[in-house]
């Protein structure tokens, strides 16, 4: 296969995954068709099956892409000098998406919630979208000297996911901004 053909294949695959992420966040996994994904990615519908044998395979790739995004975000926080600063930067990064959350909810939380209703491997795969930030937050709280690091990490993730739902329900991004400021004060109080 030539380099240009390899790039074209990767490009189509990436476009399909990106389009699936956007559409499935907006509409949900069950309501999104492969035909819609193909159209949004500007890929002929028949070509989807060249890259993904099933819709579930596409969803699995979408989850992997989201995990890579989470890893990149967490890696970018390493330059902050203290665990407290890293946790607060995480909160700011999440609350910067308040308009998106107001419109469609949290992309990770919404997906986890939807796939949790299924009885297959995708449910377990999607749980990594919650597990990774939870483990990272626990590590930061431990570095702050907190013995209750796991409980604090759960409280942080639960608070963010809860405010995403409330923000989406009322279509009010300011709710998330206020909760973000409250979480930053909470982290300061724990230091």
pLDDT of residue 170: 98
2 pLDDT higher than 60: no
pLDDT tens, 150-173? 999 999 999 999 999 999 999 999
**CATH at residue 86:** 1.10.357.10
Condensed to tens digits (0 to 9), the pLDDT of residues 39-74 reads 999 999 999 999 999 999 999 999 999 999 999 999
Q: Which two tokens stand for residue 168?
A: 């989406």
Instruction: Work out the pLDDT band at 191, boundaries 50, 70, 90.
Output: confident
The reply to whether 171 and 110 lie within a common domain is yes
Distances (CA, A) of 84 to 31, 94, 147, 160, 165: 40, 16, 15, 17, 25
**The token pair that represents 185 in the structure block:** 């004060």
First to last CA, the chain: 56
90 and 168 belong to one structural domain: yes
Domain assignment of residue 58, yes or no = no
In a domain, 59, yes or no: no
4 falls within a domain:
yes
Residue 31 sits in which domain range? 1-53
In degrees to the nearest 10, what's the CA dihedral of 128, 183, 138, 78? 90
- 100 and 177 in a single domain? The answer is yes
Could you tell me the pTM of the whole model? 0.91
Domain CATH for 19:
1.10.10.60
């Amino acid at each position: 296969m030539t380099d240009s053909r390899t790039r074209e294949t990767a490009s189509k695959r990436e476009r399909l995954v990106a389009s699936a992420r956007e559409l499935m966040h907006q509409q949900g996994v069950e309501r999104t068709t492969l035909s819609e994904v193909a159209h949004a990615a500007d890929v002929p519908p028949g070509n989807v099956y060249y890259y993904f044998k099933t819709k579930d395979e596409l969803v699995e790739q979408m989850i992997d892409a989201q995990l890579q995004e989470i890893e990149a975000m967490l890696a970018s926080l390493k330059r902050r000098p203290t665990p407290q600063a890293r946790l607060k930067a995480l909160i700011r990064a999440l609350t910067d998406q308040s308009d998106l959350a107001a419109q469609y909810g949290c992309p990770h939380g919404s997906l986890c919630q939807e796939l949790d209703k299924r009885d297959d491997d995708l449910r377990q795969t999607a749980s990594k979208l919650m597990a990774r930030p939870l483990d990272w937050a626990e590590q930061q709280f431990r570095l702050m000297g907190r013995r209750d690091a796991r409980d604090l990490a759960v409280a942080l993730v639960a608070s963010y996911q809860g405010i995403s739902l409330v923000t989406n329900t009322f279509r009010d991004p300011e709710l998330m901004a206020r909760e973000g400021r409250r979480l930053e004060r909470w982290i300061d109080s724990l230091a």
